[in-house]
């Protein structure tokens, strides 16, 4: 028996089997709901309202009795029995194409900006165009001499001979389909043609053969496959010019906000296929939009490079990731050979090539090796630290002689999950907060829209302001000596109201609870303690660093001073910090455009030593010490103490 489910306000209707889970129905309809717990019914983020019809739904403490009477249910705990109409509130949605434009504008390495003091740091060690132009795929126009009795070599040998006259290529291969059509194509084109050459592992492949001169039309894509966001760039492979950049929220989020939840999900029947399809849909939608905007023939897109953490790469290629989380924690592959993009379901030229930037270990993937490449820290004699502030909190340390890396289980709190009013950095998210001495609060929202919730940079600012104003103690508790109307009780827990319900877009209070502070404290502590422990393992300290590169979307809006105040970043001279934007995407693009860069990123992956912090006996002590604002050892944060005292 089938039922029809209509989703409002999208007006999308999907036909499903009776008894099907409502969260799954939404995915089938192309409607994506928040579900950071992966459908376990414990995060309460997939809250929807039944407008017409009836569902079978489990009761849960995540929905109040009052809201249950209004028809609210959790989609992950509801099944369809009859035709039904569902309304999705704004706070429950994942709008997959609503990443702010500024999040995809490239931040040049060295472009650090602290809103607190309007500082711009010294130029970085990086120099652009350090790698020779030699893209993953390239086109070569040829005019072959016609065969004669004196020059009677075969058509294929003749073609290879002419290619080698123009390009130094010792080893070459091609497919049978090209050979089958070669004879007729050469003669019908008057021996004038264009070949596409691709870097296929240790050989060069004749990817395709076309009549006439099409050498000016060849394009590629670079992608960063993040746990939260998928970003892609369309690149002219002849000129190296970036034609366009787009980003969307990873559709896999409906199956869980972190990689562990998604790995667990992938073990369920058909879920690996669903996770794979979700991210491939992200990629294909970005490709389609950029190709249409720039009026490009899809068949002229012949190369693609993707960088992502180890789990994201496995799911991209539909490789079972379950052994990543099982002792001894081994991935199926860190180095994946160049394949056809079509094998992964990516819609470019059917013979177009796909290369995935290699990773180091189960929790240090290609996004970090791409970041090390783009930062140039592996080319520098000075010691640098790269911190990717995200769900996984990956960290790399080293210079041209040596590299080590680790992963911090930061969790998704700074990505908007696991906190009461958290959200991604989209329109309406609070990204900065200022609190006056009399508790007057000023907020800054993305695109100056009416506030919906708080994103990562907003939480960093809020924690710093609460701590500096004495509203929150160093252990993350609200100061019991303060009596103010902004404190309320909800479900037996004290909350601090940042935006009252009458001023919010959702009609609900935007607040922070002590439970939220605890989650955020653990996230910031995980990142700081991992960096500190990695340095200690090598016999170094923060003071011995020459550069600290901060990677990821936080570089567009995070207030560095406030990040130091809460103990997320070390208290060091500000000129040592450099926000380098989406270094994973930049590194993927450089790999797309240069075979030399591709070999370099592989060298980085082989050279880098992974350090598993869970096996380090002193790590837990370091982590526990960081679970205070800014730290138990205030001597590590002298400027934070001064600011609070003043």
Predicted pLDDT at 125: 37
pLDDT tens string 40-86: 787 788 889 999 998 988 877 678 788 888 889 999 899 999 999 99
State percent of the chain over pLDDT 90: 67
> How are strands ordered across the β-sheet holding 219-225?
242-249, 229-236, 219-225, 301-308, 353-356, 339-340
Q: Name the CATH topology of 2-92.
A: Ubiquitin-like (UB roll) (3.10.20)
Over residues 481-510, the pLDDT tens digits come to: 777 788 888 777 889 999 999 999 988 899
**What mean pLDDT is predicted for residues 442-471?**
93
pLDDT at position 644 is 57
On the question of pLDDT at 588 being above 70, the answer is yes
What pLDDT shows up at residue 485?
Answer: 81
Query: Is the pLDDT reported for residue 529 higher than 70?
Result: yes
| DSSP letter (8 states) at residue 480 | T
pLDDT tops 90 at residue 641: no
* SS3 category, 435: strand
- Any idea where the domains of the chain sit in the sequence? 2-92, 137-211, 222-339, 366-412+521-645, 419-513
Instruction: Report the CATH fold assignment for 366-412+521-645.
Output: Nucleotidyltransferase; domain 5 (3.30.420)
Token pair for 517: 């502070």
Alpha-carbon distance values, 290 to 70, 103, 161, 221, 617 (Å): 42, 17, 37, 10, 49
pLDDT at site 306? 98
CATH code of domain 222-339: 3.30.420.480
**CA-angle at 556, arms to 287 and 219, nearest 5°:** 25
Asked if pLDDT for residue 107 goes beyond 50, the answer is no
Q: Residues 312-341: what's their mean pLDDT?
A: 95
pLDDT of residue 86: 94
What is this structure's pTM?
0.88
Length of the chain counted residue by residue: 646
pLDDT one-digit tens code per residue, 191-246:
999 999 999 988 999 999 999 999 999 999 999 999 888 999 999 999 999 999 99
pLDDT digit string, tens, across residues 128-147? 557 899 999 999 999 999 99
Mean pLDDT of 340-357: 97
Point out which residues pair with 429 in neighbouring strands: 453
pLDDT score, position 109: 39
The architecture in CATH of the region 137-211 reads Roll (3.10)
pLDDT for 643: 59
- What percent of the chain shows pLDDT beyond 70? 92
pLDDT tens digit sequence for 274-319:
999 999 999 999 999 999 999 999 999 999 999 999 999 999 999 9
At residue 123, the pLDDT reads 34
Which among 30, 115, 81 has a CA at the least distance from the CA of 554?
115
User: What mean pLDDT is predicted for residues 100-115?
Assistant: 44
> According to the 3-state scheme, what is the secondary structure of 579-619?
ECCCHHHHHHHHHHHEHHHHHHHHHHHHHCEECCHHHCCCH
- Distance between CA 34 and CA 417 in Å, rounded? 9
Q: Which residues 6+ apart lie within 8 Å of 550 measured at CB?
A: 112, 387, 389, 558, 569, 577, 578, 579, 580
Q: How does residue 98 score in pLDDT terms, banded at 50, 70 and 90?
A: low
In the three-class reduction of DSSP (H, G, I as helix; E, B as strand; rest coil), residue 175 is classed as coil
Whether residue 106 has pLDDT greater than 80: no
* Distance, CA of 238 to chain centre: 27
Rounded to whole angstroms, the Cα distance separating 268 from 44 reads 22
H helix intervals, 267-309: 271-293
pLDDT value of position 157: 95
Please determine, for residue 617, whether its predicted confidence score (pLDDT) is greater than 90.
no
Strand 441-445 to strand 72-74: parallel, antiparallel, or no bridges (unpaired)?
unpaired
Six token digits for residue 95: 């709008």
- What is the pLDDT, as a whole number, of residue 561? 92
Report the pLDDT value the prediction gives residue 554, as an integer from 0 to 100.
Answer: 61
Q: Of 181-190, 265-274, 396-405, which gets the smallest average pLDDT?
A: 265-274
Domain 137-211 shares a fold with domain 366-412+521-645: no
What is the average pLDDT score of the chain? Answer: 89
Where do we find the tokens 């800014």? 630
Residue 350 confidence (pLDDT): 94
pLDDT over threshold 70, residue 512: yes
Rounded CA separation 289/200 (Å): 28
Average pLDDT over residues 585-610: 96
What local confidence, expressed as pLDDT, does residue 253 receive?
86
Q: What are phi and psi of 420, to 5 degrees?
A: -55, -50
Which has more pLDDT, 90 or 559? 559
Confidence of residue 322 (pLDDT cuts 50, 70, 90): very high
| CA-wise closest residue to 252 among 239, 268, 265, 235 | 265
Q: How confident is the model over 235-260, as a mean pLDDT?
A: 92
Residue 338: C-alpha distances to residues 205, 304, 476, 531 (Å): 11, 10, 49, 33
Residue 57, pLDDT score: 87
């Amino acid at each position: 028996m089938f039922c029809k489910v209509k989703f409002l306000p999208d007006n999308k209707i999907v036909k499903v089997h009776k008894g099907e889970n409502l969260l799954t129905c939404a995915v089938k309809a192309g409607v994506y709901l928040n579900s950071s717990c992966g459908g376990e019914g414990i995060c309460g983020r997939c809250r929807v309202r039944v407008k017409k019809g009836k569902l079978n739904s489990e009761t849960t403490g995540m929905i109040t009795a009052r809201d249950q009477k209004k028809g609210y249910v959790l989609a992950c705990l509801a099944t369809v029995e009859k035709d039904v109409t569902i309304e999705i509130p704004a706070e429950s949605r994942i709008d997959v194409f609503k990443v702010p434009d500024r999040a995809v504008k490239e931040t040049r390495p060295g472009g650090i900006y602290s809103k607190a003091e309007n500082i711009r740091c010294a130029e970085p060690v990086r120099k652009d165009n350090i790698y020779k132009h030699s893209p993953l795929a390239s086109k070569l126009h040829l005019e072959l001499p016609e065969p004669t009795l004196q020059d009677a070599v075969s058509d294929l040998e003749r073609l290879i001979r002419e290619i080698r006259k123009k390009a130094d290529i010792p080893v070459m291969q091609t497919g049978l389909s090209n050979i089958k059509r070669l004879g007729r194509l050469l003669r019908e084109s008057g021996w004038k043609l264009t070949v596409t050459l691709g870097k296929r592992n240790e050989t060069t492949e004749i990817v395709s053969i076309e009549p006439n001169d099409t050498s000016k039309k060849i394009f590629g894509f670079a992608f960063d496959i993040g746990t939260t966001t998928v970003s892609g760039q369309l690149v002219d492979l002849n000129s190296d010019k970036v034609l366009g950049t787009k980003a969307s929220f990873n559709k896999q989020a409906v199956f869980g906000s972190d990689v562990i939840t998604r790995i667990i999900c992938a073990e369920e029947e058909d879920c690996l296929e669903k996770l794979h399809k979700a991210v491939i849909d992200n990629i294909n939608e970005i490709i389609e939009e950029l190709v249409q905007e720039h009026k490009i023939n899809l068949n002229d897109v012949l190369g693609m490079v993707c960088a992502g953490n180890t789990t994201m790469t496995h799911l991209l290629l539909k490789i079972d990731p379950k052994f990543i989380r099982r002792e001894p924690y081994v991935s199926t592959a860190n180095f994946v050979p160049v394949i056809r993009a079509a094998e992964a379901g990516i819609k470019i030229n059917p013979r177009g090539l796909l290369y995935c930037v290699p990773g180091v270990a189960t929790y240090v993937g290609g996004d970090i090796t791409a970041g090390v490449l783009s930062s140039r820290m592996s080319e520098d004699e000075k010691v640098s630290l790269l911190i990717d502030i995200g769900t996984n909190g990956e960290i790399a340390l080293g210079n041209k002689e040596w590299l080590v890396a680790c992963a911090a289980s930061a969790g998704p709190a700074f990505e908007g999950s696991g906190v009461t009013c958290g959200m991604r950095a989209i329109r309406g998210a609070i990204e900065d907060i200022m609190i006056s001495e009399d508790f007057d609060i000023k907020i800054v929202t993305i695109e100056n829209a009416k506030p919906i919730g708080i994103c990562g940079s907003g939480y960093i600012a809020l924690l710093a302001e609460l701590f500096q104003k004495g509203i929150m103690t160093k252990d993350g508790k609200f100061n019991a000596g303060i009596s103010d109307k902004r404190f309320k009780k909800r479900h037996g827990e004290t909350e601090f109201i940042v935006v009252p319900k009458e001023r919010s877009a959702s009609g609900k209070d935007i607040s922070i609870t002590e439970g939220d502070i605890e989650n955020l404290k653990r996230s910031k502590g995980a990142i700081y303690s991992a960096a500190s422990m990695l340095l200690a393992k090598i016999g170094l300290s923060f003071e011995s660093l020459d550069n600290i590169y901060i990677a990821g979307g936080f570089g567009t809006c995070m207030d560095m001073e406030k990040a130091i105040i809460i103990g997320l970043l070390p208290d060091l001279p500000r000129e040592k910090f450099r926000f380098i934007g989406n270094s994973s995407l930049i590194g993927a693009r450089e790999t797309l455009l240069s075979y030399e860069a591709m070999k370099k990123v592989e060298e980085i992956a082989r050279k880098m030593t992974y350090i598993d912090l869970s096996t380090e006996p002193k790590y837990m002590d370091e982590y526990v010490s960081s679970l205070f604002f800014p730290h138990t050892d205030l001597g590590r944060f002298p400027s934070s103490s001064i600011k609070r005292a003043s």
